[in-house]
Amino acid sequence: MGNILSLKCLVCGKQYRPDEIDYVCPDHGDDGVLDVQYDYDFIGRQISRENLLHTDNLTIWRYKPMLPIRPNAMVPPLAVGWTPLYAAPRLASALGLKTVWVKDDGLQPTASFKDRASAVAVVKAMEKGAGIITTASTGNAAAALSGLCASVGQANVIFVPETAPQAKIAQLLVFGSRVILVKGSYDDAFALCLKAAKIYGWYNRNSGYNPYMTEGKKTAAYEICEQLAWKAPDRIFVSVGDGCIIGGLHKGLKDLLALGWIDKIPKLMGVQAAGSSFLYTAWKNGEDILTKPPIAAQTLADSISAGLPSDRIKALAAVTETGGAYISLSDDDILAAIPALARRTGVFAEPAGAAAYAGLVNAVNRRLVSGDEEIVVLNTGNGLKDVAGAMQAVDLVDTRPFRIQPDFADLEKVVTGWGKNK
């Protein structure tokens, strides 16, 4: 692959050939996260903004020369990427902001942002002739890998905490994955998955371990900027768990800047649940994220529950290098954001997805955002992923159905005062 120069360890800076190593820097064990280094001159000869105007490929593969795969690589048939970027004027008006867009990755094939990384994982596994792919997940990454594997007939083994929402577990079973329900946390499932992959030689899709997962997730940054006619927004709000999504956005924006396709990098605003705020605390207190001990993560927003974020190096850099911030919110704040976002945009987000909007509200209230800024809110997962969470959310804002007898008199008691169409 002529577009890749090396894989660089983010701990020590050592560089490796792509054919030399698969996952992490051996000098630092599982903490030795690698970053793909690109030859931007080479990429610039293969693709341009003008080229993209003439392609009808509305998936992440429209950016193939910018991804760590072979030019002739076979890709899964599911249409991953190119999710809508909605203008949200009612949302902007309610917050006193000039412009807000909502990037809805809940409309991916398996209904979450994680399809982007899993699509790349499947391609890389096929390049290596892997018999089995594995990952650990709170549900979305698992469902993404499961669905992408089903589309090409690839065997896979999925580790999830047994507390994962039933809708996400159902996806895994429907797609035909071998599912291991772990009686413990996401971090427990992650550790067990890593050990199993090493012992059995399975291809490891885990974010924060497999360096190529960042490369799949960075495509959202490409899309946002292309959908805005290559005018980067001022800020992007995104929920953060293991840190790979915000790290991926940062990587994609750096790619575009290096290619000269955008003239600035937006400030990245990472939003964490208070019960899973490892990165927020580390950022706020200036702590060393490689020596900071894990926390006991507990939040209703299961998709961003991580006691020791596996991609914490990239996630912290994403905020500090762009002049952004981390925000910590209660579960109630996150849940309340689900109907608030839905009622002003029509976008139904799961708790982790709505957390990004809750973070924007918090930032506006704290005057971290000025009214003339152009803002993107990234929804990372569809609300149908966690119906129980959605029901808690509407109950929190006192929204309940009306129960009546099947007769007009009972109906009339309810609708009196609602008005009539003349």
The DSSP result for 28-82, as a single string, is SGGG--EEEEE-HHHHHHH--HHHHTT----SGGGGGGGSSS-TT----SS----
Return the domain boundaries, the chain.
85-111+214-396
Amino acid at 127: E
DSSP helix/strand/coil, 112: strand
Q: What is the largest CA-CA distance in the chain?
A: 76
Question: With contact defined as beta carbons under 8 Å apart, do 39 and 4 qualify?
Answer: yes
DSSP helix/strand/coil, 360: helix
Q: What is the pLDDT of residue 167?
A: 87
235-239/267-273 β-pairing: parallel
> Is CATH 3.10.450.50 the classification given to domain 85-111+214-396?
no
Which of 241, 243, 248 is closest to 185 using CA atoms?
A: 241
170: left (phi over 0), alpha (psi -120 to 50) or beta: alpha
Q: Which ranges of the chain have pLDDT less than 70?
A: none
**Cα separation, 305 vs 326, whole angstroms:** 15
Q: What is the pLDDT of residue 320?
A: 98
**Cα separation, 350 vs 342, whole angstroms:** 11
Q: What is the pLDDT of residue 414?
A: 94
Write down the residue that tokens 């003008």 correspond to.
50
Q: What predicted TM-score, i.e. pTM, was given to this entire model? A: 0.95
- Planar angle of CA 166, 82, 142, nearest 5 degrees: 25
